Amino acid sequence: MSGKRSILREYVEAALWALVLTLFLRAFVIQAFRIPSESMLDTLLVGDFLFVNKFEYGPKIPFTHIRFPGLRQPRRGDVIVFQFPQDPSKDFIKRCIGTGGQTIEIHDKQVSIDGVRLREPYAVHKDPTLRPPGYDFRDNFGPLTVPAGELFMMGDNRDNSNDGRYWGTLKMDLVKGHAMFLYWSWDGEKAWPRWNRIFQPIR
């Protein structure tokens, strides 16, 4: 009987250690994320599943505002998962367009940083119409200087993205991590995996 209890205890301890390790990795190293919307087309598709590197920018201690030092700071072009500033219970994913001290301006859908037009091969415009200044911020925005320690985020699907043009800059405190690669992709319309996207890096 004691032998059976010993084996059971070993299984319970192994399960508890596995749970602790999983929670540790999720909190400080890596987390899974699913793409629910079209705001990052064509870089990310609805039904893509990806891993987010929390360690790169420095992981936060859960339920606090304390962040450990990271390997580097976010930079322009990074695809980042973060808590939505207007509702931190929701996670968003967008591309970093500007960092602290840089001035963002959009004129007829063309983004400029500090007066220099960006070359953005990842950006798509699916609506050919132009919305004039004063109509809304979609096609004409700024200039806005990003505060120190904050980021300006935009979706790659520029004509259909709820991003920094509408809610402003992103505080580093809300940043979760850097999107790394896809581990699964499901085409809901065809009810079939997108095999060619699996394990693809996110750029």
Question: Could you list the active site residues?
Answer: 39, 94
Q: Which residues pair with 125 in a beta bridge?
A: none
Q: What angle do CA 171, 71, 203 make, to 5 degrees?
A: 75
Q: Please give the full DSSP string across 57-78, using - where no structure is assigned.
A: T-PBPTTSS-B---SS---TT-
Look at the chain and count its residues: 203
Distance CA 179, CA 38 (A): 16
Is the preceding omega at residue 159 within 30 degrees of 0, hence cis? no
117: tokens are 């037009």
95, 108, 94: which is closest to 142 by C-alpha? 108
93, 103, 100: which is closest to 141 by C-alpha? 103
